[in-house]
Structure 1
Amino acid sequence: MALKATIFKATLNIADIDRAVYLDTSLTLARHPSETDQRLIVRLLAWVLNADEALTFTKGLCADDEPELWLKNLHGGIEHWIDVGLPDERRLKKACNRSEQVSLYTYGGRNVDLWWQQNEALLGKHDNLRIIDFPEDELTPLVALAERNMQWQVTISEGQLFISAGDANFSLTPSMRKEWKQ
């Protein structure tokens, strides 16, 4: 018998000062049986950093032709393709061809540096691709926040995230590995 996804609920209060986005929302995330809590938190952080009422989670690990998140326009075209992890270069090339903008959120410390060394030349050609790294030492404490029911208050200012969950307070400063070219 196949294992079923675990459902997580996140209630978020977001104040993104950098983008002038202020949003209260509730999200439902399905964690695939093979997915770690770390990856789940990275998916949630990717949503927070791109917060938009039209931004939706997809089938994720269950579908090769979909990102973790996407923002579609009214005609069904993909405006923003958002993925996490260290995908194959061909997947990102396909995403760049299908979407106006592509964001990749990486995590995993030294593995990210090795992956980038192998893929930098090919990925650097895509003007609509940006790659954001989550530092391992700042991400690790956030993984403890992965609960079936989460309530977060998130403030984003000057690229830094300040996250409050109950009595716990954390900060996270993602770094830009590759920026979109205008």
Structure 2
Amino acid sequence: MALRATIFKLDLHVADMDRGYYGSHVLTLARHPSETDERMMLRVLAFALYADEGLAFTRGLSTTDEPSLWQKDLTGSILNWIELGHPDERRLLQASGKSEQVVVFCYGGHASQVWWQGVQANVARAPNLSVLSVSPASVQALAGFAQRAMTLHVTIEEGMALVASDADSVSVPLDVWR
């Protein structure tokens, strides 16, 4: 018998000073059996950073032709394609052709630096690609917020995200590589 996804409910409140976006989102997250709390909470952070009514979680790890999150317009065109981890350069170039903006969130520390050095030259022709790095310590701290029912407040200002629950808060610096 196959393992099933674990369902998490999230009440997310975003105050993005950089974009002038303020909104609340009631979200349902399905965590794939092979997904860690760290990766799931990085998906939540990515959602908060690019929050919009059209942004949605995809089928994620269970499919290879979709990113972790995407935002589509009313015609079905992809506006934002958001990946986590270390996607291969071919996937990034294809995503660049399919969407207006491609964003990669790296969270592997030194392994992310090695990955970026390896693909940087080959993805130079993708002008709509952004690469952000989140330290492993920050991702680990975010994982501490993972509960089946969560309420999180995220304030974003000047490349820093402050993620807070009723019990604790974590500052997450965002390192922009491209």
Q: State TM-score, norm by structure 2.
A: 0.97
Q: What letter matches 1:76 in structure 2?
A: G
User: Which whole-Å CA distance do the structure 1 matches of 2:158 and 2:132 have between them?
Assistant: 15
What does 1:46-85 correspond to in 2, within 5 Å? 46-85=46-85
| Corresponding position of 1:173 | 173
**What's the secondary structure of 2:19's corresponding residue?**
coil
Q: What letter matches 1:10 in structure 2?
A: L
How big is the shift at 1:140? 1.5
How big is the shift at 1:137? 2.1
User: Which whole-Å CA distance do the structure 1 matches of 2:137 and 2:105 have between them?
Assistant: 16
Q: What letter matches 1:69 in structure 2?
A: L
User: Which whole-Å CA distance do the structure 1 matches of 2:169 and 2:42 have between them?
Assistant: 17
| Corresponding position of 1:24 | 24
User: Which whole-Å CA distance do the structure 2 matches of 1:159 and 1:59 have between them?
Assistant: 28
User: Which whole-Å CA distance do the structure 1 matches of 2:138 and 2:70 have between them?
Assistant: 25
| Corresponding position of 1:120 | 120
List runs of 5+ in structure 1 lacking aligned partners: none
User: Which whole-Å CA distance do the structure 2 matches of 1:50 and 1:151 have between them?
Assistant: 18
User: Which whole-Å CA distance do the structure 2 matches of 1:38 and 1:114 have between them?
Assistant: 20
Which segments of structure 1 move beyond 3 Å, counting only runs of 4 or more? none
Question: Is 1:137 matched with 2:137?
Answer: yes
| Corresponding position of 1:98 | 98
Contact residue 42 and residue 142 of structure 2 kept, 8 A: no
List runs of 5+ in structure 2 lacking aligned partners: none
User: Which whole-Å CA distance do the structure 1 matches of 2:43 and 2:88 have between them?
Assistant: 18
User: Which whole-Å CA distance do the structure 1 matches of 2:118 and 2:157 have between them?
Assistant: 32
1:134-160 CA distances to partner (integer Å, 9 max, x unpaired)? Answer: 012222211111111111111111111
Alignment root-mean-square deviation, CA: 0.9
**What's the secondary structure of 2:120's corresponding residue?**
helix
Q: State TM-score, norm by structure 1.
A: 0.95
Q: What letter matches 1:92 in structure 2?
A: L
How big is the shift at 1:78? 0.7
**What's the secondary structure of 1:142's corresponding residue?**
helix
> Size of the alignment, in residue pairs?
178
